[in-house]
Amino acid sequence: MLALALLVPLPSLAAVPVKVDGRIDTAEWADARHVTDFRLTQPLSREPAPYPTEAWIKATPEGLAVAFHSVQPPGIERRRQRSQRDQGGQVDRVNLYVDFDGDGRTGYNFMVSLSDSIEDGTITNENQFNHDWDGNWRHAVSEDASGWSAEILVPWYIAPMQKTQADTRRITVQLDRVVGVTGERMAWPAVSYADARYLSAFQPIEVPKYSQSLLAVTPFVVGVFDNVAHRAKVDGGADVFWKPNGQFQLSATLNPDFGQVESDQLVVNFGAVETFFSDKRPFFTENQSFFDVPFGSLNTANRLIYTRRVGGARDDNQGAGDVTAAVKLNGSAGGTTYGVFAATEADEVGRDFYALRATRDIGSQGFGAMVTRVDRPYLDRVATVGEFDHRWTPSSAFTVNSTIVGSTVDQAGRGIRDTGAQVRVDDELGGGRRQQLYLLHLGDHLQLNDFGYLERNNFNYARYEYSRRFTNLPASSMYASHQWRAAASRRSNDHGLLIANAVAVSRSSETRDGGTEYAEFSAFSSGNDDLVTRGHGAVRMPVRPSFFYERDLPRRGRWGFYGNLNYAVDGLGDWRQGRVSTELSTRYFVSDSANVGLTVSVQHNPEWLLWRGTTGGGPASLASYRSNQVFVSAAGTWLIGSKQELRVKLEAIGLDAKALRSYDLGADRRVIPVARRHDDFGLDNLGFQVRYRYELAPLSDLYIAYVRGGSLFEEQFDGQFRAEDELRDSFRLRDSEQFLVKLAYRFDI
């Protein structure tokens, strides 16, 4: 591992430019650094790669160029399946990972498959990937009898970079190759995203200090015909990207598209925690990783800036907010990296969003701070959040990350203030062993959801985990590796009320057929649920065990399969009254360019506890239900040539809930059975989309889409609701029906 600490210079001679055609020309790459020491990182044995792989890295005035040549013997099937951007799959592929500042804070991933399909995304917090971001970079592949080759060219304007006084720049990289049929991954350097330190363990290299300027303007126009309201609307806007030098980038948007051509997955959520959705709007993904500060739990959805708040539900509940304009600055000065974010919504109920963040690294320590502010005039509310984060890496095996947060909310002349903090310790013990400690405190009045996403406040959490990886399994085993984890945790609220103690044991495995397997058993002690009543008191809960198993079987011939099984007690019943759910998914590959898939998920819950409000201002009212739910998803994708794609997507949900018992909540947190006062209910939900896309140029597209959907909730005393009937009835829903055309074209000036 000593090589990881060495600073490897790249040759600065660039006499022959790189022509990105997928064919590795000896003269083009003669002055490049040649890499051959690829080692297994999946399974994570770090043994020499079983299939010869070599790569070349070269810095050119046009960008960072990388070439791969992957030898693949005739007996190893080549996976050429094509996919939509960022959709991935178990295919032969290569990856370039780059941290342009070399400080372990933000990395970029560029993937090219054997079919020349691509993925790109960002990496933050060592090993958290986000594929919402799309960049403009070049790629090509070629194939011969011995294997296949790929070339990648990433322009220097792709990301802001810190200023350097020298003639060279220090960046860090990782290269890897995946064999689709076996799932084996070979990397240089031999580090894995399963490690506690991943991004900060990339290979340092020196490159000439090239810089590129860019001004890109992407105007768009959207036309929508509403077939329910019988009216048409035409709207337009523009995204602007300007990088005058390597140390400064500006992104701006006017009247941004809210992603009408992207559809969120249907979900049923009667709980106290809102559903998290990712953001695909171009402005809100460009350089957003710098503002991505996770806080609130080990769940990566929790963060201090949740961009879906901008243009989200209006404060008067009259639809979605209308974003007028937004601007984002990213840059560096004097060794400090900074970012500024601002967005404003139209009308008298519109909100204003602001954020300012700065980071600086000093030796083995990194410091960051951010302030956010949201003005909500309709609610007479101003919410301000301040944050300070610290990263300490005294050795390659030990890392401590800490974050302190404070919120101040002024609403109608009343001030509310509180704080929160988290600490995460990662310790690689060697021999595949690892331990983690996570501590979290969220004050009772801490409020982050004006701009961020926080599942809950009023929470204290401590968790210790020990894991061990096994890679030396016998060749006769169906498994290539196992990773066992054991964890113990304690949850309480900020008033000392025990929510639950918990233990969990899990095993994640890689199989030699390129698939994966995961199993987990966990159990929560008796305790209290202080969320279910939405602030009207806590409910005593029994011991709640759970079990989860999943198996992903990659493509074999024309078929691929996935399945899972889950059993969990989450109501007031005993261990025999748990929720049972299963999901089965299959995909049929008509060809490498076309496939259809079907997913069916069914769930039975004999003891579903729901909050039903208060009874005339009196005690909290709850009800338990016997419920069944069916979810069906069908999708088809046809990639027509290299620039066209047709996608059809259908999702439908049918749910029934039979009221069993009604409860009031007593002073001792025990539920008190009362005469039944709640009705049975049924739910139908439908989402359907047909979408055609034509790529006019990189990041320039024509979309034509037909979208239909609806939701129906019915309550009735002794209603004869059945999940399968609700599912069938969902296909008649037509709350919305739209025909949409969107044209966006990027002009590089």
Which of 1-5, 428-432, 492-496, 690-694 shows the lowest mean pLDDT across its residues?
1-5
Q: Which residue has the tokens 């819950």?
A: 605
487 within some domain? no
CA distances from 739 to 234, 348, 652 (A): 12, 30, 20
Cβ atoms 202, 190 nearer than 8 A:
no
Measured from the Cβ of residue 123, the count of other Cβ atoms closer than 10 Å reads 24
Q: Is it true that the peptide bond before 189 is cis, omega within 30 degrees of 0?
A: yes
Q: Quick: pLDDT tens for 27-85.
A: 999 999 999 999 999 999 999 999 999 999 999 999 999 999 999 998 899 999 999 88
> What is the domain count for the chain?
1
Q: Is residue 4 over pLDDT 60?
A: no
Q: Is residue 551 over pLDDT 70?
A: yes
Higher pLDDT, 557 or 419: 419
> Residue 487 — pLDDT band, cuts 50, 70, 90?
very high
* Half-sphere exposure of residue 741: CA atoms within 13 angstroms, side-chain side: 5
Instruction: Select from 418, 647, 624, 653 the least CA-distant residue to 541.
Output: 624
401 within some domain? no
Q: Please, where are the H alpha helices in 297-390?
A: none
The DSSP element (H or E) to which 687 belongs, if any, is strand 680-697
Please give the average per-residue pLDDT across 521-545, as a whole number. 95
Report the pLDDT value the prediction gives residue 3, as an integer from 0 to 100.
Answer: 40
What is the 3 state secondary structure string of 362-388?
Answer: ECCEEEEEEEEEEEEHHHCEEEEEEEE
CA distance 178 to 113: 9
Instruction: Select from 322, 291, 323, 253 the least CA-distant residue to 452.
Output: 291
- All residues at 6 or more sequence positions from 366 whose CB lies less than 8 Å from its CB, including other chains: 103, 104, 105, 359, 360, 390, 391
Instruction: Select from 465, 541, 539 the least CA-distant residue to 508.
Output: 465
Instruction: Select from 136, 159, 127, 452 the least CA-distant residue to 290.
Output: 159
CA 538 to chain centre: 32
Cβ atoms 176, 186 nearer than 8 A:
yes
N-to-C CA span, the chain:
45
Q: Quick: pLDDT tens for 126-157.
A: 988 988 888 999 999 999 999 999 999 999 99
CATH number at residue 76: 2.60.40.1190
Please give the average per-residue pLDDT across 688-709, as a whole number. 95
Q: What percent of the chain has pLDDT over 90?
A: 77
Report the pLDDT value the prediction gives residue 523, as an integer from 0 to 100.
Answer: 97
265 within some domain? no
Please give the average per-residue pLDDT across 416-420, as a whole number. 97
Q: Is residue 8 over pLDDT 70?
A: no
Report the pLDDT value the prediction gives residue 17, as an integer from 0 to 100.
Answer: 84
167 within some domain? yes
Q: What percent of the chain has pLDDT over 70?
A: 97
Cβ atoms 671, 663 nearer than 8 A:
yes
CA distance 632 to 429: 45
Higher pLDDT, 402 or 749: 402
What amino acid occupies position 221? V
170 within some domain? yes
Instruction: Select from 162, 192, 196 the least CA-distant residue to 178.
Output: 192
113 within some domain? yes
> Residue 2 — pLDDT band, cuts 50, 70, 90?
very low
The DSSP element (H or E) to which 304 belongs, if any, is none
Cβ atoms 133, 121 nearer than 8 A:
yes
Instruction: Select from 700, 728, 685 the least CA-distant residue to 239.
Output: 700
Report the pLDDT value the prediction gives residue 634, as an integer from 0 to 100.
Answer: 97
Report the pLDDT value the prediction gives residue 14, as an integer from 0 to 100.
Answer: 43
Q: Is residue 387 over pLDDT 50?
A: yes
Please give the average per-residue pLDDT across 685-704, as a whole number. 95
Given phi > 0 = left and psi -120 to 50 = alpha, else beta, which region is 211?
beta
Q: Which residue has the tokens 């074999």?
A: 556
Please give the average per-residue pLDDT across 475-485, as a whole number. 94
Please give the average per-residue pLDDT across 183-195, as a whole number. 93
> Residue 677 — pLDDT band, cuts 50, 70, 90?
confident
Report the pLDDT value the prediction gives residue 120, as an integer from 0 to 100.
Answer: 94
Helix and strand numbers, DSSP H then E, in the chain: 2, 42
Higher pLDDT, 562 or 211: 562
Q: Is residue 745 over pLDDT 70?
A: yes
Q: Quick: pLDDT tens for 332-382.
A: 888 899 999 999 999 889 999 999 999 999 988 999 999 999 999 999 999
Instruction: Select from 308, 310, 306 the least CA-distant residue to 322.
Output: 310
Q: Is residue 125 over pLDDT 50?
A: yes
Measured from the Cβ of residue 462, the count of other Cβ atoms closer than 10 Å reads 16
102 within some domain? yes
405 within some domain? no
Query: Strand, helix or coil at 200?
Result: helix
CA distance 242 to 328: 11
Report the pLDDT value the prediction gives residue 615, as an integer from 0 to 100.
Answer: 64
Report the pLDDT value the prediction gives residue 618, as an integer from 0 to 100.
Answer: 66
CA distances from 403 to 366, 424, 438 (A): 12, 9, 12
Domain around 76: 2-210
Q: Is residue 566 over pLDDT 60?
A: yes
Please give the average per-residue pLDDT across 570-575, as a whole number. 91
